[in-house]
Amino acid sequence: DGGITQSPKYLFRKEGQNVTLSCEQNLNHDAMYWYRQDPGQGLRLIYYSQIVNDFQKGDIAEGYSVSREKKESFPLTVTSAQKNPTAFYLCASSISGFEQFFGPGTRLTVL
């Protein structure tokens, strides 16, 4: 089945730790995106990548880092510099057009 997978579904982080969220797609999409969603709010763009080995900052990139070594994969690292990381993280992908398809999300909680 084609789609976007995110893992893990739930992630707990201690203060001061870096954690990495996985996003994989087998849709052969060029572009991939990371969004953050806080309770009762819309989605905000963290990073996006339109091509392998290239990525751009979104609106709230501080405290996050990404890599795009393969077309299928776009992992997001939440660093200790992100002071309020508890949120629902969503990965999306699109072909070189407009429609973005979203994964099921990872809920990150800081202990």
Tell me if 41 contacts other proteins by CB under 8 A: yes
Tell me if 103 contacts other proteins by CB under 8 A: yes
- Smallest separation (angstroms) from other proteins to the CB of 24: 14
Number of residues that bind other proteins (CB under 8 A): 28
Nearer to other proteins, 82 or 93 (CB): 93
Q: How far apart are CA 39 and CA 94, in angstroms?
A: 25
CA atoms within 13 A on the CB side of 17: 12
**Scanning residues 3 to 32, which ones bind other proteins (CB under 8 A)?**
4, 31
Q: How far apart are CA 57 and CA 49, in angstroms?
A: 9
